[in-house]
Every structure is written in C-alpha cells, then in structure tokens.
Amino acid sequence: MWGFSNAALPGPLPSYFILSITAAMATDASAKVIDGKSVAKQIREEIAAEVSRMKDEIGVVPGLAVILVGDRKDSATYVRNKKKACESVGINSFEVHLPEDSSEQEVLNAISGFNDDPSVHGILVQLPLPSHMKEQNILNAVTIEKDVDGFHPLNIGRLAMRGREPLFVPCTPKGCIELLHRYGVEIKGKRAVVIGRSNIVGMPAALLLQREDATVSIVHSRTKNPEEITRQADIIISAVGQPNMVRGSWIKPGAVIIDVGINPVEDATSPRGYRLVGDICYEEACKIASAITPVPGGVGPMTIAMLLSNTLSAAKRAYNLQ
C-alpha cells in the first residue's frame, strides 16, 4: 500500500482532502474517495482569481467559443454547462449553433471566424458531429493556439513525442492526472493500466502517464486476459463505457483507481428511472483499492475545470503573461 500519508502531501492538508477522508469513513470501505467535485471547485476558484488578475493587469478577459451542430440534447446540455462554468469564473463565452443539415463548409467558416477573432482564445467544437461531416477536417481547422480541447493532431503528436510540448492536453485525461497530483499519488516508476484507447480519453491518458514515468499498459476490446493485466496496476484509469466491468478481482490491493466511465443503468428507485455508474464496480473496488474516484463526482467535474484552465492558458499565452 502506498500513497496517502500526510507526508506525501506538500504542506497542510487541503480542505478537499479532509472532506474526502470524511466521506470515505462514512462508508464501510477502506479506499479514500478522490473527490473530483471539490478539487474542481478549488481549481475554478484559482482560475477565477487569475482571470481577475489578467483583467486588472492588461485589461483582457479570456474568451471561449463553442460550436454546436445539430439538436442532440446531451450535446446541448454539455454546451450549456460549459457556458455556465465560463460565467462562474469570469471567462467570456461565445456560441455558434448550426442546424443538423449544415454543410462542412459552414462549420469551417465558423471556425475560421473564431480563429481570426482576437477576443476568442479557445475554440471548442462539440462532438459528435453529424455523420455527413468529417470530424478530422473540422478538428484540423482549429488553429493550434486556440485548440483548448487538445484534439488537433499537432497537439496530440507533440504529446506523444519526447522533448516536445503540446500547447494543450485533452481535458478529461488532464483532469485524471491533476487528481493524482492533487492527492499526492506518486506516478513515477509505478505500473499503470489504462482501459480504453479512444482518441479523446484512453490514448492521451496513457501518453500522459508515460510522460510522468509510469510503466503503462493499454487494455482494449481485443486484449486477452484484461483481468490479469489490470491486476498488475498500481494506478488504473478506466475509460470504456461498460457499467461495472472492472470487478474487485481485477484490482491489486492498494491500487489507485480513476474511473472515467459514465454509464446510465436502470434504477426504478431513482426519479429519473436510471442512475449513473462507472466502469469500475465501486462496491467491490472500494474495499480493495487505496483510493478511488466516485461516479458521479469524480472525473466529470474535472473535465470542465480543465477546459477553463486551458482557456486561461491560451489567453495568457496570447499576451505573453506569466
């Protein structure tokens, strides 16, 4: 077991850490709860202070532009949440909402307008796009200086190369690593397993862990013996989209678990008729792991906090502000 003595943390215990210990003791489990909600709140407060400093020092307010295409309800909710989060820290938000049957060129025109607009420092195209559009063409059109989602191939390529620095790192995997850092979890030299290899979560999460000197294995849908491989991990990041796939028997005692999965499962006792669970069987895992993120309230809030952080960095970089 390793990782969670006071000595592992720099300085006094932050309030979110104390909160998380209390939450863990309230259940019958041994694992600490990695409380993404309160860490994200703290990060948003730090960002709000920086946004206000930037305004005072150089009179510039960071701006995030969101392009939404079509009428998917989930995408509209994500965009609304992102706009609200911007407002809460003083970042300006801009939105273009195009109809489902728009042409690729119309989306490219919207991106081009924001690329040229000096009041916009970050551009985000809400995915998924309608099936008649080529995601690759659209994401490639965002200038890398404003690619706050970190999905441009140049940013991903730099992330993969030794000695190169991406301008931005994708928000969800960046949030996973930030949680490990803020909870004092040592990554260097540890064995890490990432379950899932998507462009937006699994693959960049594995690259980030490798950059932090972990020894990384990637488990995907064609992996043989995923349980055996996962059981070797000191750190597990799971981004699959299969409810409760990772059982207690997959987990090495004392492992630290970051559960990215968000999966609705039927629940007649919930007013909505469903509840959200992760990829990890929480009830089993929390008896074996040393620390674990809950779903909801783990990685989810961190994703938006990292988007705000990337937008602030973009604006600071544009004005050479430290």
Site string for ligand NDP, 136-175 (x = CB under 6 A): ------------------------------------x---
Give 54 or 195: the residue with its C-beta nearer to ligand NDP. Answer: 195
Residue nearest to ligand NDP (CB): 198
Q: Is 73 a catalytic residue?
A: no
- Please give the Cα distance from 1 to 16 (Å, whole number): 22
Handedness of CA 25, 294, 15, 9 (dihedral sign): positive
Q: Is 279 a catalytic residue?
A: no
Give 88 or 109: the residue with its C-beta nearer to ligand NDP. Answer: 88
- Quick one: angle between helices 36-58 and 171-182, nearest 10? 110
Q: Is 41 a catalytic residue?
A: no
- Please give the Cα distance from 284 to 265 (Å, whole number): 17
Q: What is the DSSP string of 250-293?
A: GS-TT-EEEE---EEEE-TTSTTSEEEE-SB-HHHHTTT-SEE-
Q: Which two tokens stand for residue 126?
A: 């809400």
> Diameter of the chain by CA atoms?
57
Q: Among 20, 102, 303, 310, which residue interacts with ligand NDP (rule: CB under 6 A)?
A: 303
Give 243 or 254: the residue with its C-beta nearer to ligand NDP. Answer: 243
Site string for ligand NDP, 232-271 (x = CB under 6 A): -------xxxx-----------------xxxx--------
Helix, strand or coil, per DSSP, at residue 131 = coil
CB 308 within 8 A of CB 148: no
Site for ligand NDP in 198-227 (CB under 6 A): 198, 200-202, 219-223, 226
Instruction: Using the rule CB under 6 A, give the single segment among 47-55, 142-150, 196-204, 264-272 that binds ligand NDP.
Output: 196-204
196 binds ligand NDP, rule: CB under 6 A: yes
- Smallest separation, CB 228 to ligand NDP (Å): 13
What is the radius of gyration, based on Cα positions, of the chain? 20
Pick the catalytic residue from 32, 37, 82, 174: 82
Pick the catalytic residue from 149, 234, 259, 279: 149
Cβ count within 10 A of residue 7: 7
Pick the catalytic residue from 32, 35, 126, 174: 126
- Please give the Cα distance from 297 to 293 (Å, whole number): 8
For the annotated catalytic residues, the residue numbers are: 82, 126, 149
Positions touching ligand NDP (CB under 6 A) are 172, 195-198, 200-202, 219-223, 226, 239-242, 260-263, 299-300, 303
